[in-house]
Chain A
Amino acid sequence: MSFVRVFSILGGKTLTIQHLYRQRILPTKNQTLMRSKQLNTSSQSFQCSVDQMAANSSGTVIGLIEPLGVGGELGLVRRLAELGFLPGESVTVLRRGPGGREPIAVQIGETVFALRSIEASCIEINRQLMTEPA
């Protein structure tokens, strides 16, 4: 269902920010893997959100999703888009806070932002796998 929308964004059809709004789904790692199989166009890449990325890893933004429960009324997704988290832009997680958790220092383009996990979880990326097995 919502994969279709993701693809439409990738395919570069009518692209307005409305397309970036959709329901949060598949927060667990297991489901992310399932999804990566479904999406499996090439075996070197899979989808996840920025909060699931380790330090020093990169990817490309596919789209933004609303977080569960909170953030909607705050315009979180709109804000992230305004900060530059837009489809096609490359994202690098530079480092994470104490214990590998919040906050997350994320570089988008030539700008670095400190994000909390809930904000990072709204950013869906396509991750290029370099060293780890798929």
Chain B
Amino acid sequence: MNPVPMGLQQPCVALVGNPNCGKTALFNLLTGAQQKVANYAGVTVERKQGHAQLADGRTLSIVDLPGTYSLNPSTADESVTHDVLMGLRSGETPPDAIVAVVDATNLRMNLRLVLQLRALGQPMVVALNMMDVARAHGLQIDVQKLSSELGLPVVETVAVDNSLFGNWLSRWTGHAAENGRDALLAAAQQALATQALNVERPDLLNQVQLDLVVLQKQVNRILSVAVPQAPRIKRFNHHIDAVVMHPVWGLVLLSALLMMIFQAVFSWANVPMDAIKEVMAAVADFIRANMPEGMLRSLLVDGVVAGLGGVVVFLPQILILFFFILLLEDSGYLPRAAFLLDNVMGKVGLSGRAFIPLLSSFACAIPGIMATRTIPNWRDRLATIMIAPLMTCSARLPLYALLIGAFIPARDVGMFNLQGLTLFGLYAAGILSAMAVAWVFKRTWMKSGYQPLMLELPPYRMPNLRNLMMGLWQRAAIFMRRVGTIIFTVMVLLWFLSTFPGPPDGATGAAIQYSFAGMLGHALEYIFAPIGFNWQISLALVPGMAAREVAVGALATVYSLSATGEETAQALSPIIAQGWSIATAYSLLAWYVFAPQCISTLAVVKRETNSWRYPVLMAAYLFALAYLASFITFRVVSALALN
């Protein structure tokens, strides 16, 4: 976001190309960055900047841009690319050179944009990316002829090594893989030095813009010279799609996949979770054994270890969920799932393009809301933003897992586990309410007659092991950073609020009852008692606003401090299993399906919509729905439990 003056010390090179041609993978290769890549259009929605070291020791500034089909933007993410290229972003000059990234397996489409970019008149190099895939398909591209036909230098690149251990092997054996990195940088440097800048580019642009038909003729002519057998090469595997996109089998496969993921979240995580619990218990015991009783010991044991440990324990489950999400993202399956569910989306008035932003929201609503930039129509985009928080984000997983572990028996139901089924049900509840809310929104005040789809379905690709590991590592790092910063701060703050002021002389209950936190909890209990929350839960909802996982840590701290006996080392799960009624547990689960309290989400909504109106509306409607759902759940389960 910080405008860097370009062109003075470091020449700036922009990576431009069609969506999903591997720009970000190439950016990572050039700069050593670790930006997210996946196999669908629209992963990158903002410009990313990095630096590449050249062979002679100098550096180039590299800008990665969102993919675009033309220089005539239709969506917010394409506008980013357009504005950067034209130098329309305030405080920025246009890039000094362009690297036009093309998917070697789909030149027919990619070269149209190359010809449009060429008309901008800037120094330019073509990166012929995914050359390994092209070769594997038997596609022979005459690079010399392509280069002379385009009048531009063409460099073959392989941004992602698709062999299973390719990148690692080549690193260990010392042979740099033939990925074209150095050749591309050298070509870019040479282009900067030799190709002159054409000043009259706006006119040229207009002319080229309108003559798409002429452009395609040129492309076809170039292809007939440089890639004569191209028409006979098949880029797609239609046999897989016959099952995956089948109206019946496709949906069966999709539900089976989702069920399997939720099963795995519970059944695979036991061993690492137990290990983390034991470590935490050992740390608490160690501190207790080696420190005199007092304030500091209480802060460490009840505040830090109980609070943070209560959250960290859910890391394995989060990583298992992301393992599957990353696999699906890399394979090219997601746009097919969007195809299958387009009917449903259309019925509630959403764009089929809303599917991928909504799916990203299962990780976290923030990237999901950013990804709505790929939706062209403003009302469709707004409707998608408004329902994104209803997709169950991974920060809610700890609370779900805690309550399910404490209240739902690990019984087998047919071939499924009841705990996994409950989790599936909670996710489904979120999705169904999102659809209902979208339906109401689109019928009341965000009407739009037609919602464009026009979604590209990429060829399948074998998921890349290195990407997968890196993605998981990043997830773990993000989670631990949250634990170390926001969650740690909130836990320490909560401990102070829960400890001061101390209890009056002769008090019988736990000290926390008389503290600020105790008072706040008891005050909030008036609001939340009708939906079955006790004062401890009411209190835990407050720090949950900073990050949803904190609610779990807060419960751990509050209960740890509430305990009067010596059994404080007990884990949270058995305490609540004994202390709460089942109606309270279900009510809290229902609350968290809607969970209006996440400040960072509201802040992103404010930024993306440029108005306070929508975050306020979002918080209000989510709070109302959460309260209503919890109220109904609490009353119904209470009534059933009595019978």
Contacts and interface: CB of A to CB of B under 8 A. Distances in A.
A116 B349 CA distance: 13
Contacts of A84: 108-109, 112, 216
Interface string B51-78: 0000000000000000001101010000
A110 B109 contact: yes
B449 interface: yes
A102 to B, nearest CB: 6
A69 B440 CA distance: 24
A71 B352 CA distance: 16
A99 B109 contact: no
A81 B112 CA distance: 11
Contacts of A74: 74, 376-377, 450, 452
A15 B632 CA distance: 64
Nearest to A69: B449
Contacts of B112: 84
Interface stretch (A22-30, A31-39, A85-93, A124-132): A85-93
A81 B403 CA distance: 53
A128 B112 CA distance: 27
B238 A94 contact: yes
Contact of A110 (B105, B212, B213): B105
Nearest to B453: A116
Contact of A75 (B74, B108, B213, B338): B74
A113 interface: yes
Contact of A82 (B69, B242, B247, B339): B69
B556 interface: no
A113 B213 contact: no
A70 interface: yes
B245 A115 contact: no
Contacts of B238: 94
Contact of A112 (B449, B450, B457): B457
A67 B245 CA distance: 27
Nearest to A87: B213
Contact of B74 (A67, A79, A95, A98): A79
Nearest to A92: B238
B108 A109 contact: yes
A54 interface: no
B241 interface: yes
B457 A114 contact: yes
B214 interface: yes
Contacts of B452: 74, 76, 79, 116, 119
Nearest to B213: A15
Contacts of A118: 450
A115 to B, nearest CB: 6
B235 A110 contact: yes
A114 B211 contact: no
Contacts of B247: 97-99
Given A74-B452, A102-B346, A119-B454, A94 B109 contact: no
Given A84-B109, A86-B213, A114 B335 contact: yes
A6 interface: no
B352 A114 contact: yes
B134 to A, nearest CB: 11
A15 B450 CA distance: 29
Provide the main secondary structure of the chain B interface. Answer: helix
A88 B72 contact: no
Chain A interface size band reads 35 or more
A86 B376 CA distance: 21
A116 B346 contact: yes
Contacts of A41: none
Interface size class of B (residues with CB under 8 A): 35 or more
B453 A103 contact: yes
A81 B76 CA distance: 19
A110 B338 contact: no
Given A74-B377, A95-B241, A114-B342, A103 B216 contact: no
A113 B69 CA distance: 13
A105 B457 contact: yes
Interface string B100-112: 0000011011001
B454 A83 contact: yes
A98 B252 CA distance: 13
A18 interface: yes
Interface in A46-102: 67, 69-71, 74-76, 78-84, 86-89, 94-95, 97-99, 101-102
Contacts of A86: 212-213, 216
A134 interface: no
Contacts of B340: 97
A115 B454 CA distance: 5
B343 interface: yes
Contact of B454 (A20, A109, A113): A113
A45 interface: no
Contacts of A110: 105-106, 108-109, 230, 235
Interface string A1-33: 000000001000001111010000000000000
Kindly name the residue among A20, A80, A82 whose own CB sees the greatest number of chain B CB atoms within 10 A: A82
A105 B452 CA distance: 14
B72 A82 contact: yes
A88 B339 contact: no
A105 B245 contact: yes
A111 interface: yes
B211 A16 contact: yes
Contacts of B242: 95
A115 B242 CA distance: 17
B343 A94 contact: no
B109 A109 contact: yes
B377 to A, nearest CB: 7
A101 B451 CA distance: 16
A76 B69 CA distance: 13
A115 B235 CA distance: 19
A20 B132 CA distance: 38
A116 B338 CA distance: 12
Given A110-B108, A114-B342, A82 B212 contact: yes
B624 interface: no
B238 to A, nearest CB: 7
B268 interface: no
A109 B70 CA distance: 17
Given A98-B247, A113-B455, A113-B457, A15 B343 contact: no
Nearest to B106: A110
A86 B352 CA distance: 23
B456 interface: yes
9 contacts: A75-B74, A81-B213, A101-B343, A102-B342, A102-B343, A103-B342, A103-B453, A110-B108, A114-B352
Nearest 7 A/B pairs, CB to CB: A98-B247, A82-B70, A109-B108, A15-B213, A70-B450, A112-B457, A103-B342
Given A98-B247, A110-B109, 5 more contacts: A17-B210, A79-B69, A82-B74, A97-B340, A114-B335
Interface of B: 69-70, 72, 74, 105-106, 108-109, 112, 210-214, 216-217, 220, 230, 235-236, 238, 241-242, 245, 247, 335, 338-340, 342-343, 346, 352, 376-377, 449-457
